[in-house]
Structure formats: C-alpha cells, structure tokens
Chain A
C-alpha cells in the first residue's frame, strides 16, 4: 500500500467558529509564538508531512465578501509567513507552508520570503497561494477595486505570480557563489539570471536578492473548488487541496485537474492532490458528535463548510481516507475542529491507526518537504 500524505491546516483555535470556547482552547494565547510552536511540534510528533498556516489579507469575517460585526468569534491574526519562520527553527522534519495572498502582494517579496523560510528550515518550506476577491481587502491597499466577479482573472494573475516566484527561485544557479579570491569575484555573474517576466498584470526583472533555496523549488500549493482554481493548481502547483463531500466526488475532481494539466502541457508533472476534511475526533463517535454539537449550539446553527465534515473516531476517519485514496487522492489535509483537542487526536489516534494498517510512515524518510512527497530537487531552468 502506498502511504498516505497527511497535512494539518492550522487556523486560530480550530476550524469551528465556536472552538475558542471549548474547555481546552487557549484563545488568549493566539498571538504568542509558543502557541504556534506547540501546534507544529505536535504535528511533527505525529510524523505529518506538513502544516499549512492559514491567513487572509484582512480581518476574518463570517461573510465571504465583506466584513462582519460579530463579536463572538476569533478576530485578529498574525502574518502566516512570520509565524512559519518563527516555528521553523524549533522543528526539524515537518514541512511548513504559510499562506500568501497573491492579489495584493509582491511576488518579489514573497519569493525571497519563502526562499528564506527554506533556508531557515533547511529545506522544509512551501507556500499556499490564494486570491482575495473582497472589496474591503482591496481598500486596505487602495491600489485597485476588486469584486467577486473578478475571480477568474485573479486566479490567472495568481498563476503569473507563481511563475514569477518560481523564476526568481531559479534566478541564481546553485553554484553562482564562487568566492574566487584570485579574481576577487564573489559570484559568477553568468550564473545570475534576469527573469524578465512580462505578463498581462505586471512585469518583474530579477534576479532575486536571495540565492536559490535549499530545495531549489519549495512546494507550491493551492486550495481549489472549481474550474479556474483547478486550472491554477494544474498550471502552477505541486500540491492541490480539494473538497470532495462524498467519495464519488473524487474521481470527477481529479479528471478535471488532469484535463487542465494536459491543457497546460504539464501532464507529466507530479501533482499531489489531497482532500480536505474538517475533523472532530474522539475515542467514541458519540463523544465526538457531542463535542461538535456543543460547538454548533454555541454557533447557533450546524457547522457548514466547503469541505467534508467528520465527527467520529480516528478509525472512522482512517476508513474514509483509505476510501479516498482508493478513489485516487494522495492523502488528506485535516482541519481540526478544535485544535487543542483534535490535533492530538490526529497525531496520537489517527496516525497509529493508519500505521497499524500500513498506510502511514513510521519515521520521517526524507529531510526536505519535497523529499517527503518523493520529489527530486529539480534542475534549474536557467542552467545551461
């Protein structure tokens, strides 16, 4: 059996909006480094492939396209790239994947940021890209007006953004730094490359100010729900997060992604597709459902999510993940309902269960995030 790939998505006190009121929750610690260090260390204890660190450009909102005035949910968060950098030196195997909002950020800044995260973590960096269609987030920068109708275009722009970031990672050849005392030259400038990207949305000259990162190309990931997002992951990503509700959804989703890969001429490129699941886990299914029920009643309604929701035992989750694997997924990205409870259920319940079934690693088998996904260090596109 091919082992599953497992990721955990870290979002505040958890993915249930009422999770901060759970007995174990630490809502006042959300802005301390130690809180994030605890989560990532726990994920690493469970031998998980990676954590994603959720982020948005603006403040959280319960409404998809505008701010809200709710006072009963977690509001406020720290920059995901900096959280990632802060926890990287405290861990040694797990991949660390912060979120980047492509719509309002500079690819030049993020390219060196993720390259540096790769240095700081010695080869464990990735970046998860997303777009922002919220007009109120555009107003935070004041350079453009954006509405939800712009989404297809913003995903195209995200593809250009990733292309620039990737070219910048390659803009230094691995042996560009020569330190040749005889000629006094620190670098061989023939091994530094202008990227000269010119697209519909922007142009970037390069080269990067940061040498090629340890992995060469850190992993690029995106969450995708529909056509133009599937196109982005097919064109630009190493890793896709998708949201089947039922096992029967998996096959058509994969077919669409593979179709887009072919259309983009990337049919041969490895693209790992993980299914997202919101999880509430306990030793008994009843306890898990009770916990979720308590949070739902505080929310005032049943939780709804873009992703499948599972309240049950680690064994039930293992069954689902193996079924999805059978249908073609490479693994899952789990969204803990209440992180201070459900993350440990993943690492100490689900993981041993999968290991017993021979479906998950018993030890980290590689030192880099690419290595955990079986990806080689890629050749540099600019190397002769």
Chain B
C-alpha cells in the first residue's frame, strides 16, 4: 500500500504567547514584508497553504488591554489578496467570523479572493457571541451563546447557496451577437438567522467554493466539520489522542454522504529543531521560558483563577485560594478561557502536578501550556511527523512557528527535504488550486449535495 501523503500548512505567528516577540530574530508582524517572507518560504517548501487567524477586539485582562503578547494584526482578506500577487500556488486561508459579518459580504469577498488567486482561497469559519467584541460593530453583540453553531451552520449554508448561484457558464461575452451573459446569481434564503434575497454579483470562482476549514473540538464542532468542512484543525498532541479523534471524526462523515478522504485532519504543531537531540531539547526549554515570562505566568494563572493575582509570586507555589467559579470576568476576548469548564478541578490537577514535580507557579504554567509537539533533529522530526500520519493520527499538520517571519525557514530547509526523501511529501505542486493540493474532490454544487440535511443534523 502506498504511504499516505502529508499535508502541511503554515500558521503565521499569532497574538498569543506561542509567538516569541522578544527574540532578537523577531520581526514585524504587521509590515507586508514579513508576510511575503513567510509565504514565500511556505511556497518554496511546497506547503498546501498559509493560515491567518483573526480576532476582532484587542484582548483585555483585569479591565485593561493585555500587553504581554504580540498585539495587533492586519486585515485578513486584504493581506491574503496581496499575498496572491507574490505567490503562485500556495493556498491562502483566512479566519473570518460569522457573527460580525453577513453571508453576502463574506461570500462576495471569498469568491473575489478565489478569482484573484486563481483558486487558492480557504475560509476558517469561526463564530463568537460575545458582546465584548460586538462593541466594535454597528450590529453589536447580538448572538445568544446557544445559537452559536446554529448561526455558523446557517451562515455557511447561505454562503454555499451564494457561491453556487452561478453555475459557471453564464458569461458568454459574444461581441458579435451582443450577448454578455445569461442571467444567474439569483438567491433567496430564509432561516432563523437570515432573511435575504437578490442576485449574487461574483461569477463562479475557480474552486467553486473556497476550501472550508474548521477548528473545534467540541461535539458540536466535530459534527459541524463532518457535515461541511474540508479540513479540521485540532490540538491533539499525542499519537493516541490523535488516533481517537481521527477515527471519531472520519467516522461521522458517512452519514453526510461523504467519504473519509473528504475531510483532512490537521492538528496544530509546534516544533523545535537542533543539530542533536540534546541541543533541540535545550532550545525547546529556552523557548518555553521565553514564552512564559514571570508576568505571563501570573496572567495565565488569573485566567484560570478568574481573580486578580497580580501580587502572587511567580516563583512561589500555586495560590491556596480556589478559582472564582462562573463567568470569566478577568480575561476578555480570549477563546482559551472557555476551555476551563471546571476551574476548581483544573486548579487541583495543577496543584497535584506542582506537588509531584516540585514546580513553582511559573513552572506549572510552562508545563501545562507547553505546546511543543515535535522536538529533535530534522531527521527525528521528519520521522515523527511521518509516523503520526501513517498511524492515522492525522492527515498532516498546521505548523506554528514561534518567530515572525523566519520561524519556518529552518523547517523548510531541513525537514521538508527529508519528508520528500521518504516519499511522503510533494516535491512539486501537481495542481494549481488548493482543493487539488489537498486532494479534495471538486466543490459540490447545491444541485448535487443535500445541504438541507447537512445543516439540519
């Protein structure tokens, strides 16, 4: 049996503590040159796509803007369209929120991006409901939390109807007869969240629909991905957890009339490379300490404890008081705090860890937030990545370098050639569209898929 091919994406370093801005190598995360460098590295290494995250309000903690991580980022669509001018094949994936946008405008922008990149657009669909972010928008923060996935599903279904409203053969442009087009683009959508109708203005784009990405580990997130996404991002760092997730999500596809190859599973992966195993481990330890400064450790502590701990000693033991249970009032605009569903239990787990390993507060935070999945020599990392994919723990990875913009260079120069030698990663792009890079079927059209079922499930 041929070996599975690995799919690789590159996550432009984001606005969290994974990104080490204090390193002498760290450059601008706003200037276009940084994006060009990063994108060209990814394309030189024949990656499937580049990925941009998004947040629509600057994060706050203790009622003031959080200032310890990278703050600020450019507009997703604008950067991706500009990157289409300086790359030829690399997929261009952006995170766009379905709460603070309308299906019509998002569909118009993604269809435009897909035309302007000749078929390389991808959309990571996210939904938020918080009024905190809503304060930046004229439409406000109107979405009740329990309508989060309902809106996402209806939003996605609405954009599909818009993308599919042109079949692709409307434009005739016959100069002799004077017929420019055979009218298309009509749509009418009425659902819980939307009541819209009219004519979509963008002709069918090269991919038909952008590649749909979804990040989400919850039951609802998995089901949402199974019903309509082309790739899902996860955070499963271990082989066993990855395999369990992989089997679970792939197993959900059949009921939507989809096959296992129709949804790629791509965990986020950090990496640290060294000439020797020992050097890589030492570098990894250094990076972890850069990522969790004493001040950052206290901020993380506050996010779980949900109270002001600014006087706490980061080099001392964990606090003896318990977290404040209930709505997180300390940290705002940060999705990760929602993961702490039972803060007291998590605090007790951290305490057990601290006792067992004799760790200070900062060391506990380093231990529990550590996201370094692949550490070692290029040869060892290539081997680990390959094993992970061949063992059906994933179909590939979204690599998250910690330095902007050069954090991908070493991986591209040392690990990628070894993956190519192993015969598990392309040496040249075979297709031109992102859909082709990912080995996905051509986009379905509304006429050939039962969207109603997918959305209703």
Interface residues in B146-196 by Cβ distance below 8 A to A read: 166, 170-171, 173, 175, 178-183, 185, 194-196
A291 to B113, CA, bound (A): 35
Residues in A neighbouring B199, C-beta threshold 8 A: 58-59, 67, 136
The CA-CA distance from A20 to B36 in the complex, in Å, is 35
Q: Given that A21-B175, A82-B112, A209-B55 are known contacts, is A192 also in contact with B65, CB under 8 Å in the complex?
A: yes
Nearest-neighbor residue (CB-CB) of B86 within chain A: A89
Are A184 and B178 neighbours in the complex by a CB distance under 8 Å? no
A119 to B72, CA, bound (A): 13
* A78 partner, pick from B65, B112, B185, beta carbons under 8 A: B112
- Shortest CB–CB separation between residue A63 and chain B, in angstroms? 13
Q: Are B67 and A140 in contact (CB under 8 A)?
A: no
A141 close to B102 (CB less than 8 A): yes
Per-residue CB contact flags for chain B residues 324-357 toward chain A (1 = under 8 Å, else 0) read 0000000000000000000000000000000000
Q: Kindly list chain B residues whose C-beta atoms are within 8 Å of the C-beta of A59.
A: 185, 198-201
| A75–B165 CA distance with the chains assembled, in angstroms | 14
**In contact, B196 and A116 (Cβ under 8 angstroms):** no
> Do A89 and B32 form a contact, CB below 8 Å, given A79-B112, A185-B67, A186-B68?
yes
| Cβ contact of B68, chosen from A25, A143, A185, A211, cutoff 8 A | A185
- Is the Cβ of A202 less than 8 Å from the Cβ of B86? no
Chain B binding surface SS class:
loop
Beta-carbon contact of A78 and B183 below 8 Å: no
For the complex, is A357 an interface residue (Cβ under 8 Å from B)? no
How distant is the Cα of A161 from the Cα of B227 in the complex, in angstroms? 38
B78 vs chain A, min Cβ distance (A):
4
Q: A72-B179, A142-B194, A201-B138 are in contact. Are A189 and B203 (CB under 8 A)?
A: no
List residues of A (181-211) whose CB comes within 8 Å of B's CBs. 181, 183-189, 192, 201-207, 209-211
Question: Which residues of B are found within 8 Å of A201, using beta-carbon distances?
Answer: 138
Q: How far is the CA of A296 from the CA of B200 in the complex (A)?
A: 28
Q: Verify A205–B75 contact, CB threshold 8 A.
A: no
Which of these, B21, B57, B171, contacts A179 with CB under 8 Å? B21
A residues 98-116 with Cβ under 8 Å of B?
104-109, 112-113, 115-116
Complex: A20 Cα to B172 Cα, angstroms: 12
Q: A179-B22, A209-B57 are in contact. Are A120 and B78 (CB under 8 A)?
A: yes
Minimum CB distance partner of B170 in chain A: A76
Docked-complex contact A20 and B32, CB < 8 angstroms: no
| Cβ-defined partner of B198 (8 Å) among A139, A177, A211 | A139
- For A135-151 the 0/1 string (1 means CB < 8 A from B) is 01101111100000000
- A220 CB-CB contact with B under 8 Å: no
Which residues of chain A have C-beta atoms less than 8 A from B113's C-beta?
A: 82
Q: Which residues of A contact B178 (CB under 8 A)?
A: 21, 72, 298
Contact partners of B203 in chain A: CB under 8 A: 31, 76
Bound-state Cα–Cα, A185 to B198, Å: 49
A81 B77 Cβ-Cβ under 8 A: yes
Q: Is the CB of A204 within 8 A of B137?
A: yes
What is the bound-complex CA distance between A116 and B52, given in angstroms?
14
Within 8 Å by CB of B32, from A73, A83, A119, A183, lies A119
Cβ contact within 8 Å between A116 and B78: yes
Residues of A within 8 A of B440 (CB): none
Whether B104 lies near A140 (C-beta < 8 A) is yes
**Pairs A–B under 8 Å by Cβ, sample size 5:** A141-B102, A142-B197, A192-B65, A201-B138, A205-B135
Q: Which residues of B contact A (CB under 8 A)?
A: 21-22, 30-32, 36, 55-58, 64-65, 67-75, 77-79, 81-82, 84-86, 100-102, 104-105, 108-109, 111-113, 115-118, 135-139, 166, 170-171, 173, 175, 178-183, 185, 194-203, 205, 293-296
Known: A76-B171, A141-B196. 9 other contacts (CB 8 A): A32-B118, A59-B200, A71-B179, A71-B183, A81-B77, A109-B75, A109-B100, A115-B75, A116-B82
Q: Which 6 A-B pairs have the closest CB atoms?
A: A202-B138, A85-B81, A205-B135, A116-B78, A79-B112, A116-B74
